[in-house]
């Protein structure tokens, strides 16, 4: 990355980070009779979030044809949706993982359909492209498309990222909208779309190749073979397992986990997928856990618990199914997938998870747009974003189809930004930008480097409205990490750089 990358106000538009719906949402509210009258003046309750479909007038002007592709992993759901995307004259693919968006952009470009890649961390613009592959937070809800795909739609129920899926679902103005994912999402999606005027068709899929849970755990590391993927959830364990396997001298391991820089993640996954490379074993976190088509023959769970930002918790049934579903992908060199673990006691959980349906989704994530927060803030003079957010969320009224996103981390960021002379809009953008700079590994204000980076960045921005990378890094101070702590530090510094792009 060049050292003179700048952030300008105009660089952020029409995505989750934009206020493109500002005028529109006010207009909708004015016509929806959601006011109460007091002393002759109309009073609007901006904390009333019971009709979020009205926030997206461009999509509401269309009668969208929605196709729900549902079924188990490796059943061709995304494949079918992408076929339609490829045939369309313009379109967007929205996925939950940066690696998935990258896989789709690569596939479309290879099929001579020029396709941009836009994630929270990078932008690769292709000349003449009318298609985009994006991470869902970057979906543009102001742009008309022939066709849109939202992959892994069951993520709509995710506590932290669900709201971005809801926004894409309600907001993308596409003639044809394809939703791919687990059947557990069907009733909720039907309910949510029952008020939009869209048509919905559900298509059910079956697995294309078998996935077999093993009856025994991995006996020893000498049983590791080409095509194995060991799954663990901390950086420490990833490198420990890599070293353990490589010390035997028979295999080299690629590593993929969320806080690795995106280019590195891509390179590691490509090396593993490339049959001519010596890197024939993968050690990965759930950064590989959804939708990806890697050359994996066997998934080996090294643990069945993960830290979710707040606490250690057992993996959920959908998570186990998703991760296990990376083995034996149809069309890969392994026609049958296997799943096992290191610890014998974990076998029953794997077995039962693969054999039971995921729990039906009850509600979808929702978060107020900037427009609503802004209107709400007008009756709270001299109050910062932190307090506005806190009060707004506390007073928010929701229909039973929705829950409000957990914004603990956002409040911490907002509290830092409230000390600075920047506009409410800029604060809101900073908060979202900060939270999105680590997909699947949420940015964390407890990370000292990240929180200091944010503070420094926001200070520079408040002073000059423009930030040069060299103003928040001292050039020449970065070195190759020799310890786990140094590696973590470097990853955090890399994340700070995403605030700049």
Ligand X SMILES: Nc1ncnc2c1ncn2[C@@H]1O[C@H](COP(=O)(O)OP(=O)(O)OP(=O)(O)O)[C@@H](O)[C@H]1O
Measured from the CB atom, the residue of 79 and 473 that comes closer to ligand X is 79
CB of 68 to Mg ion, least distance (A): 13
Per rule CB under 5 A, is residue 291 in the interface with Mg ion? yes
The DSSP output letter for 275 is T
CB of 383 to ligand X, least distance (A): 44
Contact map string, positions 121 to 160, toward ligand X, x by CB under 6 A: ----------------------------------------
Take residue 75 and report the two structure tokens written for it. Answer: 């059943």
CB atoms within 10 A of CB 152: 26
CB of 72 to ligand X, least distance (A): 7
CB of 241 to ligand X, least distance (A): 23
Measured from the CB atom, the residue of 129 and 153 that comes closer to ligand X is 153
CB atoms within 10 A of CB 195: 15
Q: Enumerate the β-bridge partners of residue 200.
A: 66
Helix axes 448-464, 424-436, angle to 10 degrees: 150
Q: Which stretch binds ligand X (CB under 6 A): 76-84, 169-177, 384-392, 413-421?
A: 76-84
Are the C-beta atoms of residues 416 and 384 closer than 8 Å to each other? no
Please give the residue whose beta carbon sits closest to Mg ion in the complex: 78
Figure out which of the listed residues 79, 221, 239, 351 binds ligand X, where binding follows CB under 6 A. Answer: 79
Which three-class secondary structure state does DSSP give residue 151?
coil
Task: Give, as ranges, the residues between 38 and 67 that touch ligand X (CB under 6 A).
Answer: none
CA-to-CA dists, residue 346 to 54, 214, 433, 438, angstroms: 46, 11, 38, 29
Measured from the CB atom, the residue of 70 and 241 that comes closer to Mg ion is 70
CB of 233 to ligand X, least distance (A): 19
Task: Give, as ranges, the residues between 169 and 208 that touch ligand X (CB under 6 A).
Answer: 180, 208
Produce one character per residue of 273-309: b if its CB has 16 or more CB atoms within 10 Å, e if not. Answer: beeeeebbbbbbbbbbbbbbbbbbbbbbbbbbebeee
CB of 293 to ligand X, least distance (A): 4
Number of residues that bind ligand X (CB under 6 A): 15
Residue 331: which of ligand X, Mg ion, none does it interact with, CB under 5 to 8 A by kind?
ligand X
Figure out which of the listed residues 15, 54, 75, 135 binds ligand X, where binding follows CB under 6 A. Answer: 75
Figure out which of the listed residues 74, 121, 160, 166 binds ligand X, where binding follows CB under 6 A. Answer: 74
Report the candidate in 409, 415, 408 with the shortest Cα–Cα distance to residue 384: 415
Take residue 368 and report the two structure tokens written for it. Answer: 């107020």
Residue 335: which of ligand X, Mg ion, none does it interact with, CB under 5 to 8 A by kind?
none
Residue 79: which of Mg ion, ligand X, none does it interact with, CB under 5 to 8 A by kind?
ligand X
Task: Give, as ranges, the residues between 44 and 83 that touch Mg ion (CB under 5 A).
Answer: 78
Measured from the CB atom, the residue of 132 and 326 that comes closer to Mg ion is 326
Report the candidate in 294, 284, 295, 359 with the shortest Cα–Cα distance to residue 321: 359
Measured from the CB atom, the residue of 64 and 329 that comes closer to ligand X is 329
Task: Give, as ranges, the residues between 429 and 488 that touch ligand X (CB under 6 A).
Answer: none
Residue 384: which of Mg ion, ligand X, none does it interact with, CB under 5 to 8 A by kind?
none
Residue 273: which of ligand X, Mg ion, none does it interact with, CB under 5 to 8 A by kind?
none
Task: Give, as ranges, the residues between 233 and 262 that touch ligand X (CB under 6 A).
Answer: none
Task: Give, as ranges, the residues between 307 and 336 that touch ligand X (CB under 6 A).
Answer: 325, 329-331
Measured from the CB atom, the residue of 44 and 208 that comes closer to Mg ion is 208
Figure out which of the listed residues 60, 64, 77, 132 binds ligand X, where binding follows CB under 6 A. Answer: 77
Are the C-beta atoms of residues 141 and 114 closer than 8 Å to each other? no
Are the C-beta atoms of residues 338 and 210 closer than 8 Å to each other? no
Q: Could you give the CA distance from residue 310 to residue 305 in angstroms, rounded to a whole number?
A: 13
Report the candidate in 295, 300, 391 with the shortest Cα–Cα distance to residue 335: 295
Measured from the CB atom, the residue of 269 and 386 that comes closer to ligand X is 269
Take residue 95 and report the two structure tokens written for it. Answer: 């996925």
E-state strands within 337-408: 337-341, 364-366, 402-404
CA-to-CA dists, residue 389 to 166, 385, 392, 415, angstroms: 19, 6, 5, 10
Measured from the CB atom, the residue of 152 and 409 that comes closer to Mg ion is 152
Measured from the CB atom, the residue of 105 and 454 that comes closer to Mg ion is 105
Q: Could you give the CA distance from residue 267 to residue 253 in angstroms, rounded to a whole number?
A: 12
Measured from the CB atom, the residue of 73 and 377 that comes closer to ligand X is 73
In the chain, % helix, strand, coil (3-state, to 5) comes to 40, 20, 40
CB of 460 to ligand X, least distance (A): 41
Q: Could you give the CA distance from residue 171 to residue 55 in angstroms, rounded to a whole number?
A: 8
First to last CA, the chain: 10
Ramachandran angles phi, psi of 203, nearest 5° = -115, 125
Measured from the CB atom, the residue of 47 and 109 that comes closer to ligand X is 109
Are the C-beta atoms of residues 108 and 116 closer than 8 Å to each other? no
CB of 312 to Mg ion, least distance (A): 28
Measured from the CB atom, the residue of 81 and 396 that comes closer to Mg ion is 81
Nearest-5° Cα angle at 398, 393 to 403? 70
> Contact residues for Mg ion (CB under 5 A)?
78, 291
Applying CB under 6 A, the residues found at the interface with ligand X are 73-79, 180, 208, 291, 293, 325, 329-331
């Amino acid at each position: 990355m060049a050292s003179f990358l700048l952030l300008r106000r105009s660089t952020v538009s029409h995505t989750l980070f934009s206020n493109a719906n500002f005028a529109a949402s006010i207009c909708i509210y004015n016509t929806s009779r959601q006011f109460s009258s007091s002393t002759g003046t109309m009073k609007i309750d901006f904390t009333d979030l019971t009709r979020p479909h009205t926030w997206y007038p461009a999509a509401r002007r269309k009668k969208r044809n929605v196709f729900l592709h549902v079924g188990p992993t490796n059943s061709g759901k995304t494949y079918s949706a992408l076929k339609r995307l490829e045939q369309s004259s313009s379109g967007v693919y929205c996925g939950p993982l940066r690696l998935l968006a990258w896989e789709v952009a690569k596939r479309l470009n290879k099929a001579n359909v020029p396709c941009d890649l836009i994630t929270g961390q990078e932008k690769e613009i292709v000349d003449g492209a009318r298609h985009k592959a994006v991470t869902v937070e970057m979906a543009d809800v102001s742009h008309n498309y022939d066709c849109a795909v939202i992959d892994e739609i069951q993520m709509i129920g995710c506590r932290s990222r669900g709201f971005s899926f809801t926004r894409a679902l309600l907001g993308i103005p596409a003639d044809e909208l394809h939703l791919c994912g687990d059947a557990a999402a069907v009733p909720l999606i039907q309910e949510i779309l029952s008020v939009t005027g869209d048509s919905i068709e559900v298509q059910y899929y079956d697995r294309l190749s078998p996935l077999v849970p093993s009856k025994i755990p991995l006996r020893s590391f000498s049983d590791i073979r080409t095509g194995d993927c060991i799954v663990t959830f901390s950086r420490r364990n990833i490198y420990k397992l890599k070293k353990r396997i490589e010390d035997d001298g028979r295999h080299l391991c690629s590593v993929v986990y969320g806080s690795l820089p995106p280019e590195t993640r891509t390179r590691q996954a490509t090396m593993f997928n490339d049959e001519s490379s010596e890197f024939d074993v993968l050690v990965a976190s759930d950064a590989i856990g959804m939708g990806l088509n890697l050359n994996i023959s066997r998934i080996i769970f090294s643990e069945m618990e993960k830290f979710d930002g707040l606490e250690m918790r057992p993996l959920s049934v959908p998570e186990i199914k998703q991760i296990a579903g990376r083995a034996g992908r149809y069309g890969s060199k392994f026609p049958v997938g296997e799943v096992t673990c290191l610890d014998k006691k974990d076998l029953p959980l794997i077995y039962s998870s693969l054999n039971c349906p995921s729990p039906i989704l009850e509600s979808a994530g929702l978060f107020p747009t900037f427009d609503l927060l802004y209107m709400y803030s007008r009756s709270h003079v001299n109050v910062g974003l932190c307090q506005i957010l806190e009060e707004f969320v506390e007073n928010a009224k929701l229909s039973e189809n929705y829950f409000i996103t957990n914004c603990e981390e956002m409040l911490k960021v907002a509290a830092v930004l409230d000390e600075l002379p920047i506009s409410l809009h800029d604060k809101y953008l900073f908060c979202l930008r900060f939270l999105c700079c680590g997909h699947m590994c949420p940015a964390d204000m407890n990370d000292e480097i990240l929180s200091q980076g944010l503070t420094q960045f926001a200070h520079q921005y408040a002073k000059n409205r423009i930030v040069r990378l060299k103003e928040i890094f001292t050039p020449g101070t970065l070195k190759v990490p020799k310890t786990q702590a140094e590696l973590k530090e470097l990853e955090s510094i890399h994340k700070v750089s995403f605030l700049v792009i």
